Amino acid sequence: MKFWGMAMLLFFYGIYIGKMLLQKRKGIRTDQIAKGGKRDRVFYVELVLKAATYTVVAAEVISIFAARPRLLQVFTICGIVLGCIGDIIFLAAVITMKDSWRAGIAEGDKTEMVTAGIYKISRNPAFLGFDCVYIGFVLMFFNLPLLVLSIFAMVMLHLQILQEEQYMVNEFGDNYISYKKKVCRYIGRRF
């Protein structure tokens, strides 16, 4: 169980950090979370989101090393499967976004609206990947602090999605509105 937990985390955050380093070589600042000049709602949501996601990583690592054997292995297996699915979804999202991928709202950057690949079935697959990994970890290493922190981080991710969707409407207008009508926020298409 500890092996799967560490592998899942290393893969997930390896993708995140690896993409940031690749973009940095191209002069792209990937991490835009709470970097805006304005101290508005967007800034503070992103600031709390950043703190929440860092805290969850710490809780996940502590949970791996403090884990005790569980009576119901079915939860562990479901957690491993869900976490691995989250890793794959996150990888697909990051690859599909190419150099338009940012963490946070990058108001000064010119990016493209991506609707291909995994974005045909999810408007926010990177966030979906985060959620799957968080839920997978809770199933694998259940403890109350991890549960509470994971739920809090998922709520903050959802608030970030709402902010990013408003930004996308402002940035891409009718093209994004049309896309929203076809593709669900987390997963699925509307017909």
- Percentage of the chain beyond pLDDT 70 is 99
Question: Does residue 188 form part of some domain?
Answer: no
Question: Does residue 99 form part of some domain?
Answer: yes
Q: Name the burial class of residue 165, with classes exposed (0-12), middle (13-18) and buried (19+) by CB atoms within 10 angstroms of its CB.
A: middle
Are the C-beta atoms of residues 104 and 46 closer than 8 Å to each other? yes
Residues 108-147 have pLDDT tens digits of 778 899 999 999 999 999 999 999 999 999 999 999 999 9
CATH number for 153: 1.20.120.1630
Question: Does residue 190 form part of some domain?
Answer: no
Question: Does residue 120 form part of some domain?
Answer: yes
Question: Does residue 100 form part of some domain?
Answer: yes
Residues 28-69 have pLDDT tens digits of 888 888 887 778 888 999 999 999 999 999 999 999 999 877
Residues 88-115 have pLDDT tens digits of 999 999 999 998 888 888 777 788 999 9
Question: Does residue 157 form part of some domain?
Answer: yes
pTM assigned to the model: 0.93
Question: Does residue 101 form part of some domain?
Answer: yes
Mean pLDDT of the chain: 93
Q: Give the max Cα distance, the chain.
A: 52
- pLDDT (0 to 100) of residue 1: 82
Q: Name the burial class of residue 57, with classes exposed (0-12), middle (13-18) and buried (19+) by CB atoms within 10 angstroms of its CB.
A: middle
Domain that holds residue 58: 2-182
| Structural domain total, the chain | 1
Question: Does residue 122 form part of some domain?
Answer: yes
- pLDDT (0 to 100) of residue 182: 97
Q: How confident is the model at residue 71 (pLDDT cuts 50, 70, 90)?
A: low
